[in-house]
Chains A and B, each alone.
Chain A
Amino acid sequence: MPGGAPGPLVLASGSAYAEDRLDAVEAMAASGRAAYLGFDCLAERTLALAQVRRLADPSAGQDRRIAALVPLLRSHLAAGRRVVGNFGAANPDAARDDFVRALKEVGLPGVRIGVVHGDEVRLLVTALDAELPELGTTVGALGDRVVSAHVYLGADGIVDCLRQDAQIVLGGRLADPSLFVGPICHELGWELDDWDRLGHATMVGHLLECGVHSTGGNYEDPPYRVVPEPWNLGFPIAEVEDGAVTITKLPGTGGAVDAMTMKTQLYYEIHDPAAYLTPDVTADFTQVEVEDLGADRVRISGARGHARPDTLKVLVGIDQGWRATGEMSWGGPGCVERARRAEEVLRKRLEPYAAELDEVRVDLQGVDSLFGVRMAGGYPSEVRLRLAVRTTSLDVARTAAHETELLYFGPAGGGGNVTSVVPAIGVTPAYVPRELVPVRTEVSGS
C-alpha cells in the first residue's frame, strides 16, 4: 500500500543476531504496535560457521530458532502484519521449509513467503579471482580454503517480495539496515534512488538492527550510566515519518530510550559518519539531530544520503584450521607468579609443535588479557591463565588445549580447567561490481 495509511509507519526489532533472546518477541507481537518486525540473525562470523554446518549437512545452515519463533509470532502473523529477516544465513530454502512446517503446526497455513536469493557468490569471486585487500592475496591463491562468499544484498529484493504480497520475507546475507529500508520504502512509496530518504531509512535500520543495543544494552556504567530493569530490556520500536523518526519501546519493559542511548547506537560500527556505505546508499549522519522527548521517546532527524556504492561488499570465509583455548585459575599469595610459571611450562610443552602452531597467545585474565599490562594498582587475589592457539592440525589443537589440563601437575594450586576446540573461519572483505550480482526473488504460499 504505497502512500499508506495515515500516521507514521511503525516497525520494531525482534532480534539482533543468531543467539539473541526470543522472550520479548511474544509481547511485541501481542502489542500490535508494529506493522513489521525485523529480525537480524547474522554477525560477521555467523555466516561462515553456518556454511560449515551446511557443508556437513545439506539441510542445515539456516537460523536455528525458527521453530521456536513462529509460535511467538502467531498473533502478529494472524493479524496480517509482516516479518522480514535474514533467517536464511547459508541456506534460505531450508529456512523457508522451517517456516512452512512451523506455520502449519500453529494453524496458519497459506502464509505467503518471499525468499531473496543471490547473496551466495562463491563461484563469482572464484571466477573473478577477487582481491582480498586485507590479506594482500586473492581468492584463487587460497584455493580450497575459501569455504564461503556472501555478498551484502540491499533492500531491492525485499521490496520486490513485498510487492508480491509476501507476508514473510527472508534471505541470506541481507544487509542489516536493509531489513528495515525495504519495508519503509515499500510502505511509504519511496524510490530506491531517492538518496536522502534512503539515508534516513538506513539510519532507522541502524537504530533497530542491533535490538536492545538501542534501549540500554551494552550501556550501563554505574554510577554514570544506569538504566532500569536491565534484565528485561525492551526492543526498539520506530515510528517513521518523512525526514524524522521517533524511537520508543513497549511500556513495562526495562532499559531506556533517551538521547544518550540513541547516540551511542547511532555511531556504533560507523567509520566515516559522512559516508556510511551500505548496498542501498552512501548514508551521511553528520547532520543528525537527537531530541529527547521524555518517557522513553526520542525524535531523530537530519540523516542524508548520496548515491549508493558501485561495488557490493562480500565477506569471504577462509578455513584457518582450528582455534583451541584452555584455562586454569590460581589464587592467593603469589598467584600471578605461579600463573606466569605455568605459562613457561605451557610454552616449553608446546615447543615440539611449534612448526604447526600458526599463532600462540597466553593471557593472565585479571592482569593483562584485555589491554596488556596497564595496572596501576597491586596484584589481584586470583588470576586465570588463558592459552589460545591457532593451527591447521586438529590433533595439535587438541594437544595444546589438553596441556592446560596437565597444569594440575604444574605450579601449586591451579584449578578449574576448561578447554575448547572450534573451527577457525577467518572472514575478510572483497568487493564486486554490483551488476555482476543478480538478485532473484521467489514468493509462494506456505
Chain B
Amino acid sequence: MRLRELAASRSGDKGDVSNICVFAYDPADYPLLVERLTAERVQAHFGALVEGGVVRYELPRVHGLNFVLDRALGGGVSMTLRADPHGKAYQSLILDLDL
C-alpha cells in the first residue's frame, strides 16, 4: 500500500536540512505508520538525495511523524543547483513509499 493513500505530508527547509512531516488521515492508521515508516526506510527511499542521516520524531497526539533529513538539499536554497532548491517536492516523494 502506498503512503499517499493514508497520509498527508509537507516538506520544509532550513539551510541544507529538509524536514518532512507526515500525518495519518485516519488516526487508526497511525500505529501502522510508526511500525513501517521508519527512519531507515525513508533514508533508503531517498537514497543519494540525502547525504547525511535521517532522524524521526513521533507525534502521537496529532498522529504524525516528523522526519529530519540532514544535508539533503545540495547545499541549501541559495547555493544548490537543483531544480527544486527548497525541496518542496520531497513531500510528494515520501508519499510514493510502499508500506
Contacts and interface: CB of A to CB of B under 8 A. Distances in A.
B83 A363 contact: yes
B64 A372 contact: no
A327 B92 CA distance: 24
Contact of A260 (B5, B8, B59): B8
Contacts of B78: 44-45, 48, 320, 424-427
A264 B57 contact: no
A302 B61 contact: yes
A426 B78 CA distance: 5
B62 A263 contact: yes
Contacts of A219: 8, 10
B68 A271 contact: yes
Contact of B15 (A134, A274, A360, A386): A134
Contacts of A48: 78
Give the residue among A48, A260, A360, A371 with the most B Cβ atoms within 10 A. Answer: A371
Looking at chain B's contact residues, is the secondary structure mostly helix, strand, loop, or mixed? mixed
Contacts of A425: 78
B36 interface: no
A390 interface: yes
B79 A424 contact: yes
B43 to A, nearest CB: 14
A426 B74 CA distance: 12
B66 A427 contact: no
Contacts of B14: 44, 269, 271
A361 B85 CA distance: 13
B17 interface: yes
A286 B15 contact: no
A271 B76 CA distance: 16
A384 to B, nearest CB: 10
Interface in A211-241: 218-219, 221, 224-225
A372 B19 contact: no
A270 B19 contact: yes
Interface in B1-57: 4-5, 8-10, 12-17, 19, 21, 23, 25, 47-49, 57
Given A224-B8, A428-B15, A429-B15, A263 B84 contact: no
Contacts, number: 123
Interface string A237-270: 0000000000000000000000010011111111
B61 A267 contact: no
B93 interface: yes
Interface residues of B, number: 39
Given A273-B66, A427-B15, A268 B76 contact: no
Interface stretch (A28-36, A123-131, A287-295): A287-295
A361 B81 contact: yes
A273 B61 CA distance: 12
A62 B45 CA distance: 42
B83 A370 contact: yes
Interface in A279-311: 286-290, 302
Contact of A323 (B4, B59, B81, B95): B81
B25 A224 contact: yes
A366 to B, nearest CB: 11
Contact of B93 (A271, A323, A359, A370): A370
Nearest to A289: B61
A129 to B, nearest CB: 21
Q: Looking at B5, B12, B16, B76, which has the most chain A CB atoms within 10 Å of its CB? A: B12
B77 A44 contact: yes
A241 to B, nearest CB: 20
A267 B13 contact: no
A263 B83 contact: no
Given A273-B59, A386-B83, A371 B93 contact: yes
Given A302-B61, A372-B47, A269 B8 contact: no
Contact of A265 (B10, B61, B75, B84): B10
A219 B8 CA distance: 8
Contact of B19 (A271, A389, A426): A271
A365 B61 contact: no
Nearest to A287: B61
B99 interface: no
Given A260-B23, A264-B10, A264-B21, A359 B64 contact: no
Interface string A141-180: 0000000000000000000000000000000000000000
Given A134-B16, A271-B68, A320 B79 contact: yes
Interface of B: 4-5, 8-10, 12-17, 19, 21, 23, 25, 47-49, 57, 59, 61-62, 64, 66, 68, 75-79, 81-84, 88-89, 92-93, 95
13 contacts: A44-B15, A218-B10, A260-B23, A264-B9, A267-B59, A270-B12, A273-B59, A287-B61, A369-B82, A370-B83, A386-B83, A427-B15, A427-B77
